[in-house]
Structure 1
Amino acid sequence: MADLLVEQPQEITISKTFPTKPKLKPKPKAPSKTSESKYWSSFKSHQISNLISSIPSIDFSPISPHNFAAANSASLTLFSSNTFSPTSTISSFSDVVTSCSFRCDGSLIAASDLSGLIRVFDVKTRTPLRRLRSHARPVRFVKYPSLDKLHLVSGGDDSVVKYWDVAGESVVLDLYGHRDYVRCGDCSPIDGDMFVTGSYDHTVKLWDVRVDNKESVIEVNHGNPVEDVIFLPSGGMVATAGGNSVKIWDLIGGGKMVYSMESHNKTVTSICVGKVGKESGEEALQYRIFSVALDGYMKVFDYAKMKVTHSMRFPAPLMSIGSSLDCMTRAIGSSNGIIFAGRRKAKEDVGESKARNFWALGSVEEPQRRALRPTYFRYFHRSQGEKPNEGDHLIMRQKKVKLAEHDKLLKKFRHKEALVSVLGGKNTENVVAVMEELVARRKLLKCVVNLDEEELGLLLGFLHKHSTMPRHSGLLTGLTRKVLEMRTEDIRASDALKGHVRNLKRSVEEEIRIQHSLQEIQGVISPLLRIAGRR
């Protein structure tokens, strides 16, 4: 860079792009917006904040319009998936509700509480239909099988898994094997006789009610207390959540772990499977695992590519998550009683809302327009308001760039005035950009020669502050040497300029001292790093 400052009889290169920008400054890369992030940004967020305690369980109805239920304190509240307003509340529980589950036809809902009682209600009338009591301690989960309307699966703090006959209010099977609290479970989507349960003893067990010995078919060890477990849609794999990890297991392969996702910082509390994609006909829907944790993050995990594709932050620890079957609504329950719900607005919804507005206003006769003739002014402005189609090539007008004072002076080839102007502005990046432009024009040293005492003081002050900055030192160090060589007599004749040079000398000596200290530290650390590398 110092050699470039020497003026030689070469062809002058003049920049044609204004405003001037520093070439040494790296351009930050704009974050690319993925299709997954675009999909999640299409959800309109909504907060349901009229609840008073933690939301340990959320379940969506399998029947359209896919309303959802949320367990909150000693009540169970049902919400509309379109408006997110509460449609009904079941508050006949004697203790805190821990779990809820819709039946496959959406007409019944089962809920458990800390008293050890499981109750079954009619969704429309809220009428209690069955009371199932057999657990000796709090019940932590209850689940309707996907393909069965007559049975229930439950587990609780008594370490027992129970398989219920709902109609007879009786226990069909008591399944023993867990050595600690049973906190979660899920039923197979392809076989109504099989389900999995997870416990705080770190194990996940696969049960088959057709087995006579009442022992688990497969057992896997998650390595942490299991907070949630779900079947994946194929039915041959399960996902488990515990600690800060979500793990995927191959049941067909005998319980082999396929992958462990550890992107959360705190305990993962709930997981579910949902679909991601656009409406049918535009893009195929793809399955994802949604996980929430006490760190306030929701992670979207693509288990086909084994990577996290999206992440969202919420202002509270998260306890539960649910997603509707039509992939249009999601709901997340937090520890402070807020439900973070979101619904994706489909194209059909937009058309329906326009139609409703039209019929609400009544039929209006379309005003008749006069024929368009070449003699009319409107003829030459037709189609001016038309929006471009997707494949159209747009020719945009270039926006007028407002130039700074130094750029205007550079365009007029007033090089010295441009340098003095930018030095007075005290913007480091602009000063360096102008200096680089003057180097390209072979005019920087000529400007230095023509500076008067006050202007030279401005330049020396700038060099004192920024010549030791690593980003600009290549240019400014060489310029400093040239300034001192060319203006030695003027500096000796002025006390103010001498002061600038003394300050510049002190800053250079300080930088040299720092570099020597860093070299000494590097000399001490390098042998230690080599020894550590051999081990």
Structure 2
Amino acid sequence: MAEFKKTNTKVYSRTAINYSSDTVYWKKLGVPTLVKEFGAIDYIDFSPVEPYLFAVTASVRVQIYNPVTKLVVKNITKFQEGAHGGSFRNDGKLLVAGDDLGKVRLFDVSTKSILRFFDGHRAPVHRTFFNSDGHHISSFSDDKTVRFWDIATEKHLNTFSDHSDYIRAGCTSPVSPDIVISGGYDRKINMYDIRTGERVLSLDNGNPVESLIFLPSGGIFISAGGTSVNVYDALAGGRKIAQLSQHHKTVTCLQLASDGKRLLSASLDRHVKIYDIATYQVVHTIDNTNAVLSLGVSKNDDTLVTGMVDGLIAIHRREQDNRDKEDSHVNKSRRLKSRLRYENIFKSVDVEIADFRHEKIEQFDRMLRMYEYSKALDSVMIPSVMGKTPEKTVAILKELIRRKGLHRALTDRTHLFLVRFIAFITRYIGDFRFTPALVDAANILLDVYEIEIDKFAGTDVGKMFASLSRRLKKEEQINNDFLEIQGLLEMISAAADESLHSINDTNMENVLMKEIEASSNAQKQTVINVD
């Protein structure tokens, strides 16, 4: 007896994903650990020295976390009102932060005690940074001023008031202790020289400035405003080098990674984009559970932390280097090969007969083998098959249509089955892989219930038939739209070809005219010489 031929359930291949070296590198950060803070995360900053602790500013406190244990190791609660912009000095020993009362406080990280108290702003101070020499502090406030403070004397040395709206962004030059830039909600970016006490550069960013950052060279700075990230050359008078528009909501913060070779931007659209500084192209994207307000990354790229509007911080920690795992795998392979080699030496000459195993046959194939078409269709019309592997359901429909058994399988069905069957067709009839088979199945269904179609009016089955009708009309409209686009493209292509031929003909005529003219001139010259 001939062997039963199983149903061919074609598995459609998915689009291949090309993983770049950057994708592999950043995917190793793994699944984040979520920690709940006491309010929206205002700012995140990493200590530049090991063990790369990071400070999270939220509500009325600054909490310092250990990136390995992901636990709080220091808790600074010396604020009467909301704290803002806690950032480390380049040696990791001091931390400065502003608050809603306009005060700027300097803390010793190890003891959590206040070392300096700078009073002078008349509105909340949202950003505070150490200058590159580590002896001065720049603060940026909602009172539209930028102040420059001396840590030793606890006095402010300069005040700049060129903005006309809140200043929510700023940074200090990594190479010069005298250069500061600020960004305000008046869409202006101003650069100041502390030595002269004057503004040396001013430009319009086009949108309120949310974040500013210098590249390590100090000659280029980057701003975040609106949905775009702008790159400016400070040495060329603020000329815009590039504009990156990869987000669809406001970009809230910027950070550098990989020793300044990668730029990270976070947005209210829940995405963190990673760019290659050399090409300004996106090399990887990290998704978050909510709108991102702040972002921090450690110096060695082992830890990335995002702070969200709902008070959650997501701590991404790089997984253990796979080299140890690879070495272990190599050793296991070597041991296995050695064992097999010795086993082959002492292997018996006896012939081993493998155990006979029956080949597994799917339930729908067993039903088809017994010509029970209704039960075969029932076996693939369950949610676990229709939802996860719709190709199996479509394969059975194709086989039943080939056997001319779908009419019999659909006859005398319950309303519940008909609702499920029509819902499956409605869902997948627009999928190009299944469209031909499902169109045939829909036609057979209408043939079977053509006489009883009026009885379904007002029932769930009638509603599903109406839904299928609307879906077919929509697909028809989409096809018509594509045909119109195809016609337009063909017209444009034909016009372009005609124009190209016209240009070629004109060029050919010009060449011939020049050759005739040259030949005529040569003949005239010959006549003159003869005379």
Pairwise same-fold verdict (TM > 0.5): yes
Q: Secondary structure at the match of 2:198?
A: coil
Aligned position for 2:524: none
Identity %: 28
Q: Deviations over 1:297-337 (max 9, x none)?
A: 32223333333333333333322111111211122222333
Aligned residues between the structures: 434
Alignment counterpart, residue 47 of structure 1, candidates 12, 34, 40: 34
Partner of 2:74: 88
Residues 312, 503 of structure 1: alpha-carbon distance in 2 compared, 3 angstrom cutoff: farther
Q: What is the Cα deviation at residue 144 of structure 1?
A: 0.6
Q: 2:343 is matched with which residue?
A: 380
Task: Please report how far the alpha carbon of residue 142 of structure 1 lies from its aligned counterpart in structure 2 after TM superposition.
Answer: 0.9
1:20 alignment counterpart: 8
Q: Is the 8 A contact 1:297 1:313 kept in 2?
A: yes
- Aligned pair in 2 of structure 1 residues 26, 330: CA closer, same or farther (>3 Å)? closer
Of structures 1 and 2, the one with the larger relative CO (CA 8 A, separation 6+) is 1
Q: How does 1:341-490 map to 2 (within 5 A)?
A: 341-347=315-321, 379-380=342-343, 402-404=360-362, 407=365, 417=371, 422=376, 425=379, 430=392, 433=395, 457-458=408-409
Q: Is the partner of 1:66 in helix, strand or coil?
A: coil
Equivalent position of 1:191 in the other structure:
176
**Is 1:297 matched up with 2:262?**
no
1:61-89 deviations in whole A, cap 9, x for unaligned? 11111111122222222222221211122
Distance in 2 between the 1:518 and 1:144 partners? 64
1: distance between equivalents of 2:207 and 2:272?
Answer: 20
Cα–Cα, structure 1 residues 224 and 377, in superposed 2: closer, same or farther, change >3 Å?
A: closer
Give the corresponding residue for 1:282.
none
Work out whether residues 7 and 396 of structure 2, in 8 Å CA contact, stay in contact via their aligned partners in 1: no
SS of residue matched to 2:207: coil
3-state secondary structure, aligned to 1:158: coil
Question: 1:25-68 CA distances to partner (integer Å, 9 max, x unpaired)?
Answer: 8544355555444333322522222x312221111111111111
For 1:159, the equivalent position in structure 2 comes to 144
Which amino acid in 2 is paired with 1:128?
I
User: Which one-letter code corresponds to 1:185 in the other structure?
Assistant: G
Change over 3 Å in CA distance of 1:15–1:291 after alignment to 2: farther
Question: Under a length normalisation based on structure 1, what TM-score does the superposition of the two structures give?
Answer: 0.67
The aligned residue for residue 68 of structure 1 is: 54
Give the whole-Å Cα distance in 1 for the aligned partners of 2:94 and 2:124.
22
1:97 paired with 2:83, answer yes
| C-alpha RMSD of matched pairs (Å) | 4.9
Is the 8 Å Cα contact of residues 363 and 379 (structure 2) preserved in structure 1? no
Name the structure 2 match of 1:391: none
Give the CA deviation at 1:461.
Answer: 8.9
User: Is contact 2:7-2:395 (8 Å) kept?
Assistant: no
Does the CA contact (< 8 Å) of 1:422 and 1:430 recur in 2?
Answer: no
Q: 1:235 to 1:423 in 2, by over 3 A?
A: same
Assess, with a 3 A threshold, how the Cα gap between structure 1 residues 476 and 329 changes in structure 2: closer, same or farther. Answer: closer
The DSSP-based 3-state class of the residue aligned with 2:157 is: strand
SS in 2 for 1:216: strand
Q: Secondary structure at the match of 1:339?
A: strand
> 1:19, 1:404 within 8 Å by CA — same for their partners in 2?
no
Contact 1:405-1:418 at 8 Å conserved across structures: no
For the structure 1 residues 237 and 503, does the alpha-carbon distance in structure 2 shift closer, same or farther, using more than 3 Å as the test?
farther
- Which amino acid is the alignment partner of residue 313 of structure 1? D
Q: Which amino acid aligns with 1:60?
A: F
Quick check: which one's helix share is greater?
2
C-alpha contact (below 8 Å) 1:419/1:435 kept by paired residues: no
**TM-score of the superposition, structure 2-length normalised?**
0.67
Residue 333 of structure 1 corresponds to which residue in structure 2?
307
Greater shift after overlay, 323-332 or 468-477? 468-477
Q: Which residue of 2 aligns with 1:267?
A: 250
User: Given residue 21 of structure 1, which amino acid in structure 2 is its aligned partner?
Assistant: T
Partner SS state of residue 235, structure 1: coil
Per-residue deviation at 1:116? 1.4
Aligned 8 A contact 1:405 1:421 in 2 = no
Any gaps of 5 or more consecutive residues in structure 2? 329-337, 346-356, 382-389, 414-420, 457-464, 493-531
> Cα deviation per residue 1:218-257 (whole Å; 9 max; x = unaligned)?
2232211111111123322212112222222222333222
Q: Structure 1 residue 419: deviation in Å?
A: 7.0
- Residues 21 and 154 of structure 1: CA distance in aligned 2, closer, same or farther (over 3 Å): same
Aligned partners of 1:422 and 1:431 also within 8 Å: no
Aligned position for 2:15: 29
Q: Secondary structure at 1:40's aligned position in 2?
A: helix
Q: Could you tell me which amino acid in structure 1 is paired with residue 72 of structure 2?
A: P
Secondary structure of 1:217 counterpart:
strand
Moved more, 184-193 or 319-328: 184-193
Task: Report the 3-state secondary structure (helix = DSSP H, G, I; strand = E; otherwise coil) of the residue aligned with 1:154.
Answer: strand
Contact kept, 8 Å, 1:52 with 1:336, in 2: the verdict is: no
Measured in 2, the distance between the counterparts of 1:107 and 1:178 equals 32
- Is contact 1:109-1:120 (8 Å) kept? yes
> Offset at 1:473?
6.9
